[in-house]
Amino acid sequence: LMLVLALAAGSSMLFAGGKGEAPSAAPAADAKPIVLRLAETHPADYPTNMGNLRFAELVKERSNGRITIEVYSGSQLGQERAVIEQVQFGAIDFTRVSISPLAAFVPVFNALQLPYLYRSEDHMWKVLLGPIGKELFASLEPSGFVGIGWFEPGARNFYNSKRPVAVPADLAGLKIRVQESDLMVGMVQGLGAVATPMPYGEVYSGLQTGVIDGAENNWPSYESTSHFEVAKYYTVDEHTRVPEIIIGSKISLSKLSQADQDLIKQAAIDAIPYQRQLWAEREKASEAKVKAGGSIITVVADKGPWQAAMKGLYDKQPSAVQYLVKRVSEVQ
């Protein structure tokens, strides 16, 4: 407890003049500089982190150099859950995380990662940038967070070492590695496979030795981890799109003027197209590399049977999640 209090008291928000309200977005000549920290688990050259850097660049430009956001990539400040906790207590000002660990703090976010929820990438973005996205941002505040912006996560797909998979029945009996998540376990079980939770760093050797038969992830992860070398059958079913989110500390942001808060939020919105473009380019490059390496790609033409297999999982969700799912389905 003492450590947490010490961290919160020593928040990374630094005002050169000490106490007092932060200057506005149009500062006087003697306005004091502000330095904020953003934590990122991905490596420096990953598209998500490049989006962080663009966000920080826009904030610095638009504040005339007065506000600096220092980006710490590669888990320098800790893993996702630990970083989320530090943001909650004001020890770190911002972090970019997947909504998966964030849902442990704000459970309604589970709705956004249910399998086969989105019709397409564009459908997801209409949800995130529309009224539902704004309401989800508001739901963060009671837990000490402020929603800042969204980033493209890509779609997750199945891959395995045994056979092509075109319909759910083809997955029957395969041991599929999943994250330690009830949703992911339920998804794989619903499709007839054997859900096998395993640390991400053990997946390559698990595939190589036959401890598992397959896993699931997006194109860049499948390629960058070299999983395609030991699991050549890749099925494009796009079962989940798990949005990436930048959250801020309510403690940190409360020390800023409203104008500065608005500047920061708008910069995050304006960084989205850049990050999405980088992600699209990375996906294409990864797809080309794994195809050249011998991967066999199967594109699911009809997602109806896959969606039908998820009924039990959807029915188990709390009423608040089910209500949000209904609203997502109605977004055109």
Residue 9 CB contacts under 8 Å (≥ 6 apart), including other chains? none
Q: What is the reported pTM?
A: 0.84
Confidence of residue 23 (pLDDT cuts 50, 70, 90): very low
Residue 24 has pLDDT above 60, yes or no: no
Mean pLDDT of 283-297: 98
Distance CA 327, CA 330 (A): 5
Delineate the domains of the chain, giving CATH numbers in brackets.
2-22+32-153+243-282 (3.40.190.170), 156-241+286-330 (3.40.190.170)
State the pLDDT at residue 180. Answer: 77
30 band by pLDDT with thresholds 50, 70 and 90:
low
- pLDDT, tens digit, for every residue of 44-99? 999 999 999 999 999 999 999 999 999 999 999 998 889 999 999 999 999 999 99
The rounded mean pLDDT for the chain is 90
Q: How many CA atoms lie within 13 A of 151 on its CB side?
A: 30
For 72, the token pair is: 């710490």
Query: Is 50 exceeded by the pLDDT of residue 146?
Result: yes
Identify the CA nearest to 78 among candidates 156, 132, 13, 12.
Answer: 12
Rounded to the nearest 5 percent, the helix, strand and coil shares of the chain are 50, 20, 35
Euclidean distance between CA atoms 331 and 127, whole angstroms: 7
Nearest-10 Cα torsion for 266, 78, 222, 199: -140
What are the two backbone dihedrals, phi and then psi, of residue 249, each rounded to the nearest 5 degrees? -80, 125
Q: What is the mean pLDDT of residues 164-190?
A: 93
* pLDDT at res. 297: 98
